[in-house]
Structure 1
Amino acid sequence: MGRNPKLRIRLSKVQDNASKVVDLCKGSKIEVGGVAKGVCGNVSVARAMVDGGCSFLADSRIQNIINLKKENLNIPFMLLRLPMPSEIDEIVSLVNFSLVSMTEVVKLIDEACRIQNFYHDVIVMVDVGDLREGIWPSESEIENMAKTLKGCQRVRCMGVGTNVGCFGGVLPSPENLDKLVQVGRELEELLGYKLEIYSGGGTSSLALVEKGIMPLGINQLRVGEAILLGSDVTGRRSIPYLHRDTMVLEAEVIELGRKPSVPIGAVGADAFGNVPTFVDKGVRLRGILAIGKQDVRLEGISPLQEGVYVLGASSDHIILDLEELAGEITIGSTISFKVDYGAMLAATTSPYVKVVIEER
């Protein structure tokens, strides 16, 4: 049986998704980087992205990049999260290019490069409205960043990039990505050379490519969710030309029994400080799984068996209503779930969930 809970990843479908995304973007002269952070930098999945045609790999955690570089993947690496000053010494020796928004950090990178005798490429992030990272596209902020970059001896500005959809939920549009292009052109004038990269977001930006309305100039996307799950959570859509059945979460039943559907006694807050509410459906068959909020995002899992309903969870348990489940179920039975991006992210990060790689 093997250790439970486990997340089964179907590698051939991930690779096929990567290939289809790369082919789609190639028609618009856009290169695709595979974002491996959603699976905690899993080496097998990262290799599938590379085999599918991704031209670089990207991750937010330097620890994941260190592990991936040991595998001799022979591909450039991008650090997705803005650098912490405490990790800059590692970054300049391990990462091909990183994202920046603070002039102070650019100066620290330049100094670290001088000490270690390295050169480093950066992409200046621009906030086009989602209000996460990036310089604000004002004349003063653009000029300040250009002045700092011109004063660097070992840091080169490779391009500009933006992030949409991750914090503010702002969708990519021709208007906000054209704003990115405009900032890039202004930086080119101030720096005195052409920028190589205009990085227009990730999975959510694929819709613009599909519709043929991606602004001219955008030539790079950083794609994770579409390749890993065939979905676009920001756009609330399944991507029709991609596989959705790339991953299955499995957990084991550790208790079965018929119980009331409403707790008995005074109700306070649960272990996470929330006050739960219940609908009285009478006595029902209930099951408990050996997996909980410490392992997975509860809102991001969907049972694959009909008649299975998730009632809630504690840190170590998920409680199910199994009254309408057809067929036999016993202690030790496995319940399977589809996962969304948040659930996948949590499950692959948890040391208590075994990741099982399946070739097909």
Structure 2
Amino acid sequence: MGTPRLEINHEKIAHNCAFLTQVYAAKKISICAVTKGVCGNIMIAQTLVSTGVTMLADSKVSNLKKMREGGILATFLLIGTPMLSQARSIIKWADISNNSELVVIEELARHACIRGVTHKIILMVEMGDLREGIMPSRLDNMVKKVLKLKGIKLVGIGTNLACFGGIQPSKDKMELLSVIAECIEQKYHISLPYISGGNSANYGWFKSTHDIGKINHLRLGESILLGVDPVNRRPIPNLYTDVFNLVAEVTELKIKPSVPYGKKGQNAFGHILHFPDRGKISRAILGIGLQDVDVSGLKSNLDISILGVGSDHTIIDPQKTNLKIGDEVSFSLNYAALLSAMTSPYVEKINIVSYELEGIL
């Protein structure tokens, strides 16, 4: 197999998804699987659906289109803040979208009427993380206007935490969202099927609370794909954390000085770097760089250290690993590294599928 490559273990994805579905179902919370970290990969989407998940979420309309055209049978949720310019395509490819701007919702309504369909929306509420969301004091006025629109159906409210500001989901925040949902339902005599309390970062809140209130829906990406709690990146019990494996090849191995020599200026990325003087050391180059992956999010199980990175080279100290030219070095990835590797056209994606899944995929 060629390098660089990203090996994807579908059996482990299926296990993580099925396990989390069961865990959250114990408190009557349904999950949707978020595919944005894997760029709407059709085989991964099919693996997720094979576990019984009925809703897939992505931040890119193009990914929803790819999955729908790829024959994936699911309800598709657009979780990226909808762009006004994409209203027409959103109506075509998304069943539901998360929204926070009235002008965008009105444009969605216009295109929904043109197509003769009803588009469902979830209104996002700002709860402190300061990414997308309507301030709670302005939500009632928004609901009042949305309910008057033809072609639009309000099916829920939601919030997003632990993404931009790192604000954690908490008992108080989930209680407040539940109260807001209850007030909307009572005032307008409607039922909201989705009270979407957040994402993978809600795991700690979920495990510690005895009363989930009205929260009945979560959007899970990182915990399914990487098996960790995004709040602290600690492994979640009974989940695989090695679903993805990035493999790079050694292209050069030489003894060189540990400090660059000559008149110093900026490197290729505008940085002036400083290196400790360790004399002459063994230096290896891997055929992978920033065009391929966010190298800062890589971790090897070998005793090596990354000295620096270029657009298509990663320089490492191989220490006592006895690497040779052509040898392969494997890395685990954090979420940022996974996202970049899946996005890069230079990283080959290799699907590892068990016999049990072959008939499904």
Hey, what does 1:144 align to over in structure 2?
141
Q: Are residue 6 (structure 1) and residue 2 (structure 2) matched?
A: no
Separation in structure 1 between the aligned mates of residue 181 and residue 316 of structure 2, nearest angstrom: 52
2:154 to 138, 141, 157: 157
Give 3-state SS (helix, strand or coil) of 1:3's partner. Answer: coil
Give 3-state SS (helix, strand or coil) of 1:47's partner. Answer: helix
Q: Give 1:118 shift.
A: 1.2
1:271-319 deviation digits (Å, cap 9, x = unpaired)? 22222121122211111111111211121100122x2111110111111
Separation in structure 2 between the aligned mates of residue 356 and residue 114 of structure 1, nearest angstrom: 42
Hey, what does 1:321 align to over in structure 2?
317
- Kept after mapping to 2: 8 A contact 1:11/1:45: yes
1:35-79 deviation digits (Å, cap 9, x = unpaired)? 011011111111111122322000111111111112322210000
Higher deviation after alignment, 5-14 or 41-50 = 41-50
Separation in structure 2 between the aligned mates of residue 282 and residue 190 of structure 1, nearest angstrom: 74
Amino acid at match of 2:307: L
Separation in structure 2 between the aligned mates of residue 62 and residue 190 of structure 1, nearest angstrom: 33
- Kept after mapping to 1: 8 A contact 2:37/2:335: yes
Hey, what does 1:80 align to over in structure 2?
79
Q: Give 1:213 shift.
A: 4.2
**Following TM superposition, where does structure 1 have runs of at least 4 consecutive aligned residues deviating by more than 3 angstroms?**
none
Hey, what does 1:89 align to over in structure 2?
88
Separation in structure 1 between the aligned mates of residue 246 and residue 139 of structure 2, nearest angstrom: 45
- Kept after mapping to 2: 8 A contact 1:38/1:345: yes
Separation in structure 2 between the aligned mates of residue 14 and residue 205 of structure 1, nearest angstrom: 19
Higher deviation after alignment, 33-42 or 68-77 = 68-77
Q: Are residue 331 (structure 1) and residue 328 (structure 2) matched?
A: no
1:1-360 to 2 correspondences below 5 Å: 2-138=1-137, 141-213=138-210, 215-305=212-302, 307-325=303-321, 327=322, 329-360=323-354
- Kept after mapping to 2: 8 A contact 1:93/1:118: no
Give 3-state SS (helix, strand or coil) of 1:302's partner. Answer: strand
1:99-140 deviation digits (Å, cap 9, x = unpaired)? 0000111111111111111110000001100000000111xx
Amino acid at match of 1:109: L
Separation in structure 2 between the aligned mates of residue 42 and residue 167 of structure 1, nearest angstrom: 25
Amino acid at match of 1:294: Q
Separation in structure 2 between the aligned mates of residue 222 and residue 214 of structure 1, nearest angstrom: 19
Give 3-state SS (helix, strand or coil) of 1:280's partner. Answer: coil
- Kept after mapping to 2: 8 A contact 1:143/1:190: no
Separation in structure 1 between the aligned mates of residue 272 and residue 39 of structure 2, nearest angstrom: 32
Q: Give 1:156 shift.
A: 0.7
- Kept after mapping to 2: 8 A contact 1:129/1:170: yes
Give 3-state SS (helix, strand or coil) of 2:219's partner. Answer: strand
Q: What is the RMSD computed on CA atoms of the aligned residues? A: 1.3
- Kept after mapping to 1: 8 A contact 2:197/2:218: yes
Amino acid at match of 2:121: V
Superposition TM-score, scaled by structure 2 size: 0.95
Separation in structure 2 between the aligned mates of residue 127 and residue 293 of structure 1, nearest angstrom: 34
Give 3-state SS (helix, strand or coil) of 2:136's partner. Answer: coil
Structure 2 spans left out of the alignment, 5+ residues = 355-361
Amino acid at match of 2:206: V
Separation in structure 1 between the aligned mates of residue 220 and residue 301 of structure 2, nearest angstrom: 26
- Kept after mapping to 2: 8 A contact 1:7/1:355: yes
Amino acid at match of 2:113: R
Q: Give 1:238 shift.
A: 1.2
Structure 1 spans left out of the alignment, 5+ residues = none
Give 3-state SS (helix, strand or coil) of 1:28's partner. Answer: coil
- Kept after mapping to 2: 8 A contact 1:203/1:232: yes
